[in-house]
Amino acid sequence: MSNKAVMRESSGLGRFNRIRPVTNFFFSALFVLLALMTLLPVVFVFVISISSEASIAANGYSFFPSELSSAAYEYLWKSKDYIGRSFLNSVGITIVGTLLGLILTSTLGYCLSRPNYRLRGLYTGMLLVPMLFSGGLVATYMVNTQIYGFKNTYMSMVLPGACSTFYVIVMRTFFQTTVPDSIIESGKIDGASQLRIFTQLVLPISLPVIATIGLFLTFNYWNAWYSAMLYLDSNHRELYPLQYVLISIEKNISFMAKNEEFFREESMQNLPSETMRMAIVMVVVIPIACSYPFFQRYFVGGLTIGAVKG
């Protein structure tokens, strides 16, 4: 490198991008602090879940309980067959629903992003109307149960939330602003079909938005319990997802705690009402938290895949 280039780098953009060691240290300390602040509530909830009811009654919620107990997890373990089945239901519903949602959202968003698609304006208007005016709960229930026949089926947990208007708009905007037209034109010149262009050229450079929407869909399906309350009867408990089962357990414990005068005293003494809530939170949060690194891989990978070469 010539002396002029070195001087230009030291006095121009290179100098502007250079970070001093002291500044780098403070930025690193800030991010470590933010990470600890994010992790601290999870640790606090876990500590409460392994605390005894007597310790919580005497000292309240504390990082350092006077007595530890696994009673909350033992109560959950006694129902391991029931909770285990609901856990598998939630895993299956989440996987199938996320994949189906990504397929529907990405294909519809890609069609609406193409300027030569004739029905683009019509379908865009049809998508915007539900964002402003909802059809209502009664109409939604009647359509899913009477027309589609989703009552007491797994499809009632999957299909109603598979395609979101907001996610379609996000996909369409991403395809319009980020995917270069030269890539699509090159595929057309080579004689590729629209399906091949979409799967082999568009999707590889769209991994950031796909991973983002996939993460949102995963959260929505994993935390869903309202659909089970609407579409599943009490005689179809084998279809219950994990969230609905845990909420039912928590409500029953809360009801017994509020009406303890109607129950036996020895049963109420062994009832971990406070720690049970925290144990339920841990059971719900840990699996979905473990899925985040999987999506994070594609956040980084999607930024480096594909480019338009001049």
- Residue 243: CB atoms within 10 Å: 21
Question: Which pLDDT score is estimated for 255?
Answer: 54
Q: If 0-12 CB within 10 Å is exposed, 13-18 middle and 19+ buried, where does residue 204 land?
A: middle
Residue 112 pLDDT more than 60?
yes
How far, in whole angstroms, is CA 231 from its chain's centroid? 22
**SS3 (DSSP) at 235:** coil
Lookup: tokens for 69 = 């107990």
Domain residue extents for the chain: 73-304
Residue 305 pLDDT more than 50?
no
Residue appearing with tokens 């959950």: 76
140 sits in which H/E element = helix 137-142
Work out the mean pLDDT of the chain and round it to a whole number.
79
Question: Which pLDDT score is estimated for 298?
Answer: 62
Q: Averaging pLDDT over each range in 2-6, 17-21, 40-44, which range is the top one?
A: 40-44
Structure confidence at residue 92 as a pLDDT band (50, 70, 90): very high
**Packing angle between helix 80-113 and helix 165-177, nearest 10 degrees?**
50
Q: 73-304 belongs to which homologous superfamily?
A: MetI-like (1.10.3720.10)
Residue 68 pairs with which residues in a beta bridge? 51
Taking the alpha carbons at both ends of the chain, their separation in whole angstroms is 25
Q: Averaging pLDDT over each range in 10-24, 29-43, 51-65, 93-107, which range is the top one?
A: 93-107
